[in-house]
Structure 1
Amino acid sequence: MKTEQPISPPFFSVVIPLYNKENFIQNCLKSVLNQSFTNFEVIIIDDGSTDESFTKAKQIKDPRFSLYQQKNHGVSVARNKGVKKSKAAFIAFLDADDQWYPEHLAMIYSMIKNHPKQQLFATNYQIEIAPKQYRNTKFSVAVTKPTQVINNFFEASLKDSLLHTITTVIRKSVFIEEGGFNPSIPSGQDTDLFIRLGLKYAIVFTPKLGAKYNIFSENNLSKTKHFKIRLQLLKAYENIENEYLQQYINLNRYAIGLGAKLAKNKAFYSAKKDLNFNLLSTKQKILFLLPSRLLKVLKKIQDIMTKKGIYITSI
């Protein structure tokens, strides 16, 4: 049941960047409208879509929604612009091809009220690996309490990331102080921001599901091939003396290198050169050093199993 809250000023500003997601944006916006906590505004920044995304977004009517258009400048510029236009003290992000579950904002609101001095808040998420097929997250620290404060983001994120753009809420003043998303990074902007935040702030987290993350949609940034840029992003933090940060960076470098190998991209060799093999599991070492032809065969097997509803950990 929805609980009515005063609509002015909003408690949350929801920022949604939109680029060529005509098949997803309406379900995304409906998932916001279905929130049990209703005191929010929604700022949609259309980043130069060339399909019917903008038209589809306009068809969802609500006085709390504001829709803007700009030339294509990238998701970081779109998100930062949305924050600049926001009125609330807390910023929630959602991507146009993803969806919240109805209690997401209500859970965040409760955590903020119970931990008023904290700056970062997040719910758990499911990963939609194929239409209506889901994988649950796995974290590298125990997150069994209904709500808990995680003091080390990197220690907790050596499997799946504790923070995800679509489930994270940040105090607006902190977002501005940290410089927001880096517009010079075309891919991996969330990783960059999470590293900066993780070096300074604890996270109030609930293992209860707040959203589902879609990894199969068209134009999904996670599928782009900015391998070299992602590796350069990680190098900016490799001299910081933080054991868990370095493990976190190494695992990201491993994942990027594996993707580059599958794509026959030369960035694989850069990743291999900087990779600390001592921090990898035996399985990861074997996969990374397999011939690309055999790695592709394993990837095809993984895709077939996924379609049958069986998910094998990352290849």
Structure 2
Amino acid sequence: MTGHDSPVLRVAGRPVGRYVTRPELPARLSPRPCLHPVTTLAGTVVTELTPADHPHHLGVGVAVPDVEGYNFWGGRTFVRGKGPTELGNHGAQRHLAFQLREPGAFVADLRWMAAGAELLRERRTVAANELTGTAWALDFAFALTNTTSRPLSLGSPATSGRPGAAYGGFFWRARKEASAPEVFTAAADGEAAVHGARADWVALTGGASANPGAGGGAGWTLVLAGATDATRHDPWFVRTAEYPGVGSCLAHDARLPIPPGETVVRRIVTVVADGRLTRDEAAALVRKAVTP
């Protein structure tokens, strides 16, 4: 994997994430700019890029499996009545230009292209902020504008008939370890309870375990929080048993329409911490990260 013009995010002088603007990937993986590797302040990597289980998972970024029939997620497309199907319908996100580049932040414009035409124009705003000596926050906002002359809509496998598969939006592919990570919100524990829930925040924690022989390296925790009313309305997509990943669901119960010239805006703030945080510790760091 190589990239061109890939800035590095830094917190307190330490590199914590690289933004790959032009990943060299086959079309079926829906190439798109992404953050990888992302690390804790102690240097523990908390992302994966093109893992063997899902080669189309690319670190941290925005991916949508259905933009008016075009696949911007990668891999197979879920077809009603057929199931996951290999189609030649893959789109690609193309880095256009940086509007801002600083050691701890950048603003980038992207074109969402399919079949030789632009469907969406994205303004992506990303910042890395120090919270404590062992935690920092990745503030990631994106605005998707329909640049065509016709209505567009965003969908998911769930809106095509696959229950429980409403993925599409901001997505964080976490590191896979010998043991599955734990997941919790302020009120629920475990994948079954958290997946599909609407909650202010969701935490994924792995690595060092209190259970002897459980495996895993240094402890780490990710706490994803919706930072706007619209984002907090989106349910969470969560996987821990099959693979570790968390994201938001732009099209959970129904397709999300974007009329010509209109814009959909979402903002996720993720606490990236060393160690396995408790519920109270996660909540406290989220408040610090999201509070203006």
Q: Same fold (TM over 0.5)?
A: no
TM-score, length-scaled by structure 2: 0.28
TM-score, length-scaled by structure 1: 0.27
Greater share of residues in helix: 1
